[in-house]
Amino acid sequence: MSFSTDVKEELIKAMPQKRHCRLCELTAILAFAGKRNQNSIFVYQTSETKAAIRKCFTLLNKTFNINTDVLGEDIDKDKTFIEFGRDIPGMDEVLDAIAHETPGYLLTNDCCKRAYLRGAFISAGFINDPGKAYHFEIVCQTAEEASMLMELLEDFDITARSTLRRRYYVVYVKEADTIQDVLNVLDAHKALMAFVNARIMKDVRNDLNRRNNCDVSNITRAVNAGSKQIDDIRLIDEKEGLDALPESLRDIAVLRLENPESSLTELGQMLDPPVGKSGVNHRLRKISEYAQKYRNKETV
């Protein structure tokens, strides 16, 4: 299963203890997964709404002792739907809540706000695998729904953004720290731990890759520099011989030829008396200046 499916499975199994919280979650599920007319809400059974329908049945049973089943088929679209109508005892309260643009009277407590956000995510949410990318979103049918979700998240100090995607409004978060906060608000604690662990592993891999890239880059620079130094020394030896160099330069030139893969620090330790890295680098720059004089003469 995908990480998003795992999160929804965890939220489906969680049942709010308080009736008003169950009502808030149910209200959100029907609002975000269903389509409403005056007396009923229809939730089409698709791969995206399976989780929402499962949780909806459970909430209806636990909250109102309502048991419902598939009541019809949409012949035009050849899709099966669940109808939640006023003829079902107890549905009036839920349908009346959804009739409000913002069911504010339901969302007075933080626990109810959490429940509503859970229902919205179960119905229309998605979270990316944290090992690949950081992205959390809930798809809304109207701008008002998107605005309400952003306000609810803001109540928990979570800043979300909204964008228009085709004809839907998408509320989303892309920062890893903020997504962790969202999972905590949803009470998806197992998913939160999995997210944190995946993020740690990703950070470790990225750090190792950066270090490896840095090491490769340093080695490449060292090899290129060493190759250039050897070319300079051989040019001087060919033109005039290394004996023409001052003793300090001649000694380091011989060591470089004999130890082409050694670092500057290692070359310095081979001298008698030893010389530091900066001293070796200074001498090799002098040798490069000697070699450049010969190259300049050749170009004249």
Report, at the CATH architecture level, how domain 3-187 is classified: Roll (3.10)
Residue 101: predicted pLDDT: 45
pLDDT score at 300: 43
Q: What is the pLDDT of residue 218?
A: 64
- Of the candidates 185, 166, 186, 182, which has an alpha carbon nearest to the alpha carbon of residue 174? 182
State the 10-residue block means of pLDDT for the chain, 300 residues long.
90 88 86 75 71 81 68 52 72 67 67 93 93 92 92 94 93 95 95 91 77 67 73 82 83 84 84 86 86 71
Angle (nearest 5°) at CA 280 between 219 and 292: 85
129 Cβ neighbours under 8 A, 6+ residues apart: 2, 3, 4, 198
Q: Are 158 and 148 contacting, i.e. CB atoms less than 8 angstroms apart?
A: no
Residues 146 and 170 sit within 8 Å (Cβ to Cβ)? yes
Are the CB atoms for 30 and 94 separated by under 8 Å?
A: yes
Q: Show Cβ contacts of residue 29 under 8 Å, excluding neighbours closer than 6 positions.
A: 52, 55, 56, 59, 119, 120, 122, 123
Backbone angles phi, psi at 100, to 5 degrees: -80, 140
Which pLDDT belongs to residue 222?
A: 65
Cα–chain-centroid distance for residue 72?
Answer: 41
Strand pairing category for 125-127 and 35-36: unpaired
Q: In the chain, which segments carry CATH 3.10.28.10?
A: 3-187
Q: Are 81 and 36 in contact (CB under 8 A)?
A: no
